[in-house]
Amino acid sequence: MEEMSTKQKVIHAASTLFFQKGFDGTSVRDIAYKADVNVSLISYYFKGKQGLLEHAVIHYYESYLEMMEENIHAYQKESTLDCLKNLVFNMIYFRLEHYQLSAFIHRELLLDSTFVREMSVTYLAKENHLLSSLFYHFLPESKRKSRRMLYMQLQGMIMSPFNLKIEWDTTLLDDYGRTQFVRQYTNELNEWLDFLKAFEYETCPPNSRN
């Protein structure tokens, strides 16, 4: 238990510094100082700064994808739209709960960081499969021709809170603040999904609805 507590302190400190200063701008000594641990512990647990980043990113994605699968399973008896809305809410909440690491990973991917991209590629493919399968299944037939463009819009809306450094520090660090933001943000996103859903009936008279 003590080992995990120390490791988590180091990961949290590293995530903060990577977010603020970048990977190259952060030293092992910086991380140790912020985590209030001996520098040697970072080598002992993670074999250095690169091993620490690898551990943090892999743990992040594994927890994230496990959350997605659990949410889809929990809502499998609900409508596809309800399942999609719930999944999007929890995707954004998870990313916001781990905001600094989420923003750092996203920034590194935009910069085409080879190390982060190679670590992330398999996880991103699985995320894309889970989300796109649900979205394409939900999408009304009349919008299927433009489904790729619409999916890109959905991805953009999910990622946009993490594209720019907004003043999260004072408003969204606690559970209440995060929940309120994600509810408000996904309410707007859900209106877009409801708008798409309305196209299902454009070419079908009311009596033909299932």
Residue 208: band (very low, low, confident or very high) from pLDDT cuts 50, 70, 90:
very low
Q: How far apart are CA 116 and CA 111, in angstroms?
A: 10
Nearest to 19 by CA among 190, 168, 147, 186: 168
Q: Which of 41, 49, 42 is nearest to 21 (CA)?
A: 49
φ/ψ of 195, rounded to 5, equals: -60, -45
Instruction: Note the pLDDT tens digit of each residue in 179-203.
Output: 888 899 999 999 999 998 887 654 4
Question: 138 near 80, Cβ under 8 Å?
Answer: yes
Calpha distance 130→123 (Å, rounded): 11
Per-residue pLDDT, 204: 41
Token match 């959350």: residue? 67
Residue 72 tokens read as: 């889809």
Compute the distance between CA of residue 78 and CA of residue 93 in angstroms, rounded to an integer.
21
Q: Which of 99, 118, 149, 102 is CA-nearest to residue 50?
A: 118
pLDDT of residue 167: 53
